[in-house]
Amino acid sequence: MSQISLYPLRFAPIYEYRLWGGRRFADLLSAPLPGDGPIGEAWILSDRDDHMSHVANGPLNGRTIGELREQFSEELMGNLAHHFRRFPLPLKFLDAHEMLSVQVHPTAANTDLLPAGETAKTEAWVVLEATTTSRIYSGLEPGTTPENQRQAVTKGTVADSLAYFTPKPGDSVFIPAGTVHTLGDDVVVFEIQQNSDVTFRLYDWGHVDSKTGKPRDLEVDQALACIDYKNGSAGLVSPMIEARTPVDRERLFNCEFFRLWRLHGELPFTAGAKGEPRMLVCLEGAGQLEHSGSTYVIGKGEV
């Protein structure tokens, strides 16, 4: 492996059963879906022990991103090679046929609630598909307090205290750590996030997991402790147009943890940046990536 230079790496998706999921990934991704049950998540790039992405092309086919990080640290990560113990940004697609649980991710201030090796979790969504009945809940209605939020949990009226909107394809949604949020009723999104998998469920709409016949566990005390009541209503972000040629280039998110641009067009353009890892995700259509005299095909749903 030491004789191999890195090239544009494509990764195989990792499909995950979720009781709220659907089967829309059959049209979005080329890899066939397993079984016939609901698939709610497709992890398309992940450096976690329980969700470790494998290369799906070229001489390094089958290698994990963790192995690449260890053996090609500076070539893979550039200037960031010594800043992270694992690749910092998991990428996913979510197919929310039903509503996800109302949940909260911890902030950096919630040190007592962060397991060893985990961090806070800020994330963002780009809406790919939605209907007129789809919903995204993000943030709290004005005047919500810890006291009346706990009462709402007891009464089953949590949704009444949440700000929401009807999403449409193309919408960009920013979810800082500490924001109460959920989405569902036939909405598909692309998700980028910090590399953490800590989620506290506040409310679950009465869902019963068909695999266990039981409701899923809630973590009400932890969720309430993580809520950032000062943040209020988070949500829709207006894209910033950075260029119109050779392709439309919009910056969707630019926070301390990640940056995300949306590119749209048919003319050739330059991708990548010196000293930084970049990820390309094809959300629509198809294309070709030229690198060191070779051509790499990228199709819908591939990273």
Q: For 102-160, how does the pLDDT look when each residue is reduced to its tens digit (9 = 90+)?
A: 999 999 999 999 998 899 999 999 999 999 999 999 999 888 888 889 999 989 899 99
User: In this predicted structure, what is the pLDDT of residue 233?
Assistant: 60
CA dihedral sign, ordered 286, 290, 293, 296 = negative
- Alpha-carbon torsion, ordered 121, 124, 129, 133, to 10 deg: 80
- The domain locations on the chain are 14-49+78-226
Residues of the chain with pLDDT > 70, as a percent, come to 98
The three-class DSSP label of residue 205 is: coil
Integer CA distances (angstroms), 32 to 25, 66, 175, 204, 299, in order: 8, 24, 30, 29, 14
Within the chain, residue ranges assigned H as helices are 25-28, 65-71, 73-77, 146-155, 220-226
Is domain 14-49+78-226 annotated with CATH 1.10.3720.10?
no
Mean pLDDT of the chain: 93
Question: What are the φ and ψ backbone dihedral angles of 290, each rounded to 5 degrees?
Answer: -100, 130
What length is written for the chain? 303
User: In this predicted structure, what is the pLDDT of residue 50?
Assistant: 92
Residues of the chain with pLDDT > 90, as a percent, come to 84
Confidence check: pLDDT of 229 > 90: no
The answer to whether the beta carbons of residues 68 and 76 sit under 8 Å apart is yes
User: In this predicted structure, what is the pLDDT of residue 3?
Assistant: 76
Report the alpha-carbon distance of residue 145 to residue 288 in Å, rounded.
Answer: 51
Beta bridge partner(s), residue 55: 11
